[in-house]
Structure 1
């Protein structure tokens, strides 16, 4: 190796951000193994690469003792003092033992080390970049598929979108560009593994942040998201500015903002409701589009009993219970829905017997 090699390492540091000093230390460590392997040496050696010229020197390290038993590892005090009168028993003497033909071996070893370290550094850079993006969304192109995954090219690396994390109603094809939520980033022996999702509620939350300036700026806050991907979602929003309508901000002029998100999510219906710190109001809003007559809340059990007009009962519950289920997820309250005629047959709006039976369900 020579000065050109050192310059190449310096260029590598500038272009790839890999410290030339760390690379040289790694090459030195690898050269020790290469020396012992190629020259059948059991010596304790140190390899030094000159940081300016690139020249390589191998030094055998020997301990100064009174009576050497192994000349490969020990040296007598008299022999040490022939080198320098300052040596004493127990000191370490370094004697250069660089083989003539070591240059070729050193060049091969250095190439292997640099290649490996570049690969490791690139993997580390990619891992750190995407680990910082967990719970964010990325955009990529589907390049291949198998029975378990769609593989998404993110330009710098490839991510995995499991079939179970795809919207049930969508059929992704090769070449499709998709946006997905980063579930997690894992370190593996083959580099970082990035796992994506199209069904996570966080995808809808992040799409709203990107599409609605008031949310991005913090004027409107997304308080909660409940989602059944590909079918229906509910979003609770709150405005920190009394002059800004949180629902209107999310829907946008002529519904353009929310429609953009609906299109991205393959037609998924999105109900935007206003969050309230009053549980009764919040639960009633969460059951939209159904109209609610009354809500009785029981804080200790986190249970809400909701009364709706008879003709609104099926709407409040939703197809296969979806509307009620999403409202419960959104609010964190267990919701029992009754029609006015059902409540009319009871002497109490929410009897102890009914409540106990409801809690046992």
Structure 2
């Protein structure tokens, strides 16, 4: 085997992160196969490959028997004892059978198998690396686009961004740098397939973890997320530390932290609300930026009736029902919104016992309250 091939093998072992033992085993198996194919079927042989000198020796392994029935696999006791008197029946004798010019054949075979095994080993390494990164975020570069997928370079491999996981307000172009959420890693015959998403709620969570140190270290916890990707999202946050304002931590100084997330999501609006174990408070917070007068809770049906001022009804429901829909997803409670006038017609007192806010208080989304809505064009960010 020539020194160039040995040098190439050493480079592969070093650069690809594949163990020397894996490469050696693969080459030896391939050389044995090549020997059997070219110099005799059914031979039981062993290859001695010296990676330092490049020498290859082939040994036929034959069982010592009293009577030989297959000379390719057996050797008589008499002949074996001529080699070494200590041989007994049942022992295995190794005889060197390295053919002349076998080095050239072995080198060609080694080159083919190394290429194949390196490819297989690389796939295994990539799979092992990415299977541990499921539900994690990565930065990738758009490589190419077809009707089914956007192909995103993730370094050693490509991620597949299906059309269903692409944000409707985004247009992807080659060389665009984007952050993606790894949803699934599958092992296939063609190598690992890595599916990524731009619409998954987990992407929003990971982006906040990157931007908000208090979330990353566990001081602030994201309790729930409701997302309509590319348009609007709501997240609820909580902290066990009474000295920490979880909403303020996510907003950041002058809105910088949430603004960085909004920029990454191409202008998607984000409502950050305070989580509460009390459904009355939590549902009222979730309907931000609308002002809530009263929340009536039906625990058996896990449903709520929310009373809002007449002039806040459309804001509470939102465009195409989006605000109420996201609030219901966020809280996991059914939400039925009624105006103050409708409530009175039904005999419901909007300001009765379970009211969340007194009517004289300022609306939930005033500048002093922690429940706010942000996007890049929102002039509430100063």
Q: Give the TM-score taking structure 2 as reference length.
A: 0.85
Report the RMSD for the aligned CA atoms in angstroms: 2.1
Distance 1:22 1:176, change over 3 A: closer
CA apart distance, 1:190:
2.7
Deviations 1:6-55 (A, max 9, x none): 66645543443322222112111111110111123322222222355332
Moved more, 8-17 or 264-273: 8-17
Q: Where in structure 2 are the equivalents of 1:208-223 lying within 5 Å?
A: 208-223=208-223
Give the match's secondary structure for 1:125. helix
Give the match's secondary structure for 1:329. helix
Correspondence for 1:356: none
Q: Is 1:231 paired with 2:231?
A: yes
Correspondence for 1:106: 106
In the alignment, is the contact (CA less than 8 A) between 2:5 and 2:107 conserved in 1? no
Moved more, 43-52 or 198-207: 43-52
Correspondence for 2:240: 240
Q: Is 1:328 paired with 2:328?
A: yes
For 1:128 and 1:226, locate their aligned partners in 2 and report how far apart those are by CA, in whole Å: 31
Distance 1:162 1:11, change over 3 A: closer
Give the match's secondary structure for 2:338. strand
In the alignment, is the contact (CA less than 8 A) between 1:3 and 1:52 conserved in 2? no
In the alignment, is the contact (CA less than 8 A) between 1:2 and 1:53 conserved in 2? no
Correspondence for 2:67: 67
Distance 1:86 1:5, change over 3 A: farther
Distance 1:5 1:168, change over 3 A: closer
Q: Is 1:125 paired with 2:125?
A: yes
Distance 1:330 1:226, change over 3 A: same
Give the match's secondary structure for 2:235. strand
Deviations 1:309-358 (A, max 9, x none): 23322222222211111111111112222233333333578xxxxxxxxx
Give the match's secondary structure for 1:343. helix
When the two structures are aligned, how many residues end up with a matched partner?
A: 349
Q: Is 1:89 paired with 2:98?
A: no
In the alignment, is the contact (CA less than 8 A) between 2:26 and 2:113 conserved in 1? yes
CA apart distance, 1:3:
7.3
The one of the two structures with greater contact order (alpha-carbon pairs below 8 A, sep at least 6) is 2
Q: Is 1:58 paired with 2:33?
A: no
In the alignment, is the contact (CA less than 8 A) between 2:140 and 2:178 conserved in 1? yes
Correspondence for 2:193: 193
Q: Is 1:268 paired with 2:268?
A: yes
Distance 1:216 1:204, change over 3 A: same
Structure 2 residue runs of 5 or longer lacking an equivalent are 350-382
Correspondence for 1:358: none
Moved more, 320-329 or 126-135: 126-135
For 1:36 and 1:47, locate their aligned partners in 2 and report how far apart those are by CA, in whole Å: 12
For 1:90 and 1:185, locate their aligned partners in 2 and report how far apart those are by CA, in whole Å: 50
Deviations 1:201-255 (A, max 9, x none): 1111111111122222222111111000111100101123222211111112222
Structure with higher helix content:
1
CA apart distance, 1:92:
1.9
Moved more, 8-17 or 85-94: 8-17
Distance 1:293 1:171, change over 3 A: same
Deviations 1:151-206 (A, max 9, x none): 22233322222222111112222232222111122222332222111111111111
Structure 1 residue runs of 5 or longer lacking an equivalent are 350-361
